[in-house]
Structure 1
């Protein structure tokens, strides 16, 4: 019997790659995102994988009413969630705190922190009732180190780390696993979004080094999700070989 996984922010990057590798390894998928056209394209690719069933849900994790409507009353055949991957997240802007755009802050806090909480609040009670389940929250090296131009983004990812640790303690008596994965540089749409569509600036982030790719993170998430019942990987930090910290990297001269 195939397990059920839900991946938020599945329209591209880590979310899309994670949905694909989970489907290839025996999971049926609930995929969510804001962009209906891209979500449909991902669904079509998933359905090409033998016997995979897919439920696509278009909503914004920042909107609690939309989250509740989509996730708090899932169809019975989709309600027994085995794995939740809280992937939806973003960084916007690089200005120092005293020059930052307030709307950028709102987007990051509402997506990275409140969105994760809204989704988890809908789905965790079912895991508690069934005495099993696994939540994997996507954090970042920014959740372990702070750096200039990233004050609020770093704050949101530190929050993900703290929330995950508390959830792990709260849910341990119910047999529910909670994990975080903190990637360093991953070449996805992340930097394009951060630089508000400026692709040249986004490309410079990875210039002269070999970053991680979405598939690297997806493979690690699969490993985390397929450990035996008695094993939980609480916190995984994964970095490119060329990156030693949030600010230190080896680049070709």
Structure 2
């Protein structure tokens, strides 16, 4: 129990003791405090404390309990039948995508990356290298690039943050083999910027990706991949999404456009 929790518990005990001395009976605050601590322990450790009172609280807690439960409920991902059905529809013609990255110790190397991407994906606003939403039934003219939906498959070229994928890449770079990946396969025939492909799952979402070290002078872990709901496993939709990533990586090219010469400072 942290310092703040100890102070809060002391305040609860003091209020209960004062109420008892004045003949007002139990306030129910101890039970509410123990319930709150259980929620905290579940969120942090996945387990409850053993100090929770088995006596039901005498205070009215219906609305606060609902709010508390919602705060710790993970989102439920569900792929609609309409989206699953698009897996049986041929992909729209691919289009050329390009974006720039800045390599080098001080970002002085301006580099262009190009690849072909299925027309089923439409560009989406974001602060990463490149991202596109899988929207095969929507035309460009009707599309808002600010659209966002957790259940929509997303294609992305991203620098892996400090997460499961980043740790997987580091393990492979250090000579290990990932033991928690749903699929892992080294790639040796697609050029120097493609090392392996893998599939991982985390909390109801899956990511199929290639590790593509596009940066030659800084330690950023770039991946080409698509994320989608785990309920799509083994469906034509999953195969279609994976094929789009395969094409993007197969056609990917990296070209240095400019090197800014910076005098020593």
Q: Normalising by structure 1, report the TM-score.
A: 0.24
User: Which structure has the highest helix share of the two?
Assistant: 1
Greater C-alpha Rg: 2
User: Which structure has the highest strand share of the two?
Assistant: 2
Q: Normalising by structure 2, report the TM-score.
A: 0.23
